[in-house]
Amino acid sequence: MRPIVWTLCSLSVIVATAATQSTVRRVPLQRAALAMVSPSTYRMGERLNPKTGQVQTYDPKPRVVTVDAPRGLVLLTWIGVDGKTKTITYQRPDAIDVVVRADALHVDSGTLHYTYDLEILRSSGEYLSSFVVQAFAKDLEPVRQTALYVGRMNAREFSDGQWTYFGAPESSPLNPGRRIRYQLRSSVGPGLVSCRVAGGPLAHEGAGEEMPAELSALLPGYKAWPQGYTIGPDDRLASLSPAQRALKLLEWLPEFERLGWMTAERRRHYNAGVRGGDLRALATEAEADLRAERITTEVRAILQGFVAALPKR
């Protein structure tokens, strides 16, 4: 009987796998694999000997201690110039798992309304504190919401395009299991752009003196913000010819599948359709595929944008 049971179990797994692959499932933004460990080498500190008045060296013993890995809480400790232990509690911004669902819909003639629905997964260790999304458009207009800070990111890491920063309501933390919607407006059609999130408090209290440089160098900054792709206004596509747009779409299709925006079967089908040269037919199919959960709103929006840019028949 054992071979029979094994066969039935195997068939169950195959059927379940096939069913899973028949519908889309967006993947969360990806955390970077950034380790924070105590420095193995470091410079000796210097302090004034109160008895001799001479400068003497001492061992600052810089250390990194993870106190709560799921929440991303890390202690940075060292011996200060006064001989006492100094401690800074650092909140890693990557203790959060977020799925972003985006769409772009016409609200009036020539204006697109971009929506970003963020779901903070229950696997997160912290609340959502920040969301930033990339765009390439001169007429970008964030839709401002009560009690939410909205602004531009000007750091070097966000120099490619325009990055809009959306904060979170302080009075009602976006804890694991909650959702929130952010919005943009632009006349520019959608393309594939980047986005990032951060979890937990972004600032940490000082310790009364500068931490050793070796500890400061361990702070990952924006590199630790989970990141991924979504859709956003992209005027770089405006200069592409229909043939170049088709090539761009062929380049993006494997990424759509990896992101969970498109099933493998639909990716192969759309690949053949793009090569066949009829984007209008694919855009029409996209509505049915969206209802059947074979593609996501992101794919439909990009297809509609590409078709809208085609020469009129």
Task: Note the pLDDT tens digit of each residue in 35-63.
Answer: 899 999 999 998 888 778 788 899 999 99
Residue 221 backbone zone (phi > 0: left; psi -120 to 50: alpha; other: beta): left
Q: Which of 163, 170, 184, 177 is nearest to 112 (CA)?
A: 184
Read off the tokens for 37. 């460990």
Asked whether the predicted pLDDT for residue 13 surpasses 50, the reply is no
What pLDDT, on the 0 to 100 scale, is given for residue 228?
97
What pLDDT, on the 0 to 100 scale, is given for residue 137?
96
Domain boundaries, the chain: 98-202+222-235, 240-308
User: Which residues does 185 contact at the CB level (< 8 Å), separation at least 6?
Assistant: 107, 111, 112, 113, 114, 140, 141, 142, 143
What pLDDT, on the 0 to 100 scale, is given for residue 10?
39
- Please compute, for residue 177, the number of CA atoms within 13 A of its CA located in the half-sphere on the CB side: 0
Looking at residues 111-120, what average pLDDT do you find? 96
Confidence of residue 141 (pLDDT cuts 50, 70, 90): very high
Asked whether the predicted pLDDT for residue 96 surpasses 80, the reply is yes
Minimum mean pLDDT among 18-22, 79-83, 104-108, 215-219: which range?
18-22
Asked whether the predicted pLDDT for residue 251 surpasses 90, the reply is yes
Q: What is the mean pLDDT of the chain?
A: 89
What pLDDT, on the 0 to 100 scale, is given for residue 147?
77
pLDDT digit string (tens) for 155-202? 899 999 999 999 988 778 899 999 999 999 999 999 999 999 999 988
Q: Topology of 98-202+222-235 in CATH?
A: Immunoglobulin-like (2.60.40)
Q: Which of 193, 114, 198, 189 is nearest to 161 (CA)?
A: 193
What pLDDT, on the 0 to 100 scale, is given for residue 6?
35
pLDDT digit string (tens) for 262-303? 999 999 999 999 999 888 999 999 999 999 999 999 999 999
Cα separation of the two ends of the chain: 65
Asked whether the predicted pLDDT for residue 18 surpasses 80, the reply is no
Q: Percent of the chain at pLDDT above 90? A: 73
- Please compute, for residue 89, the number of CA atoms within 13 A of its CA located in the half-sphere on the CB side: 9
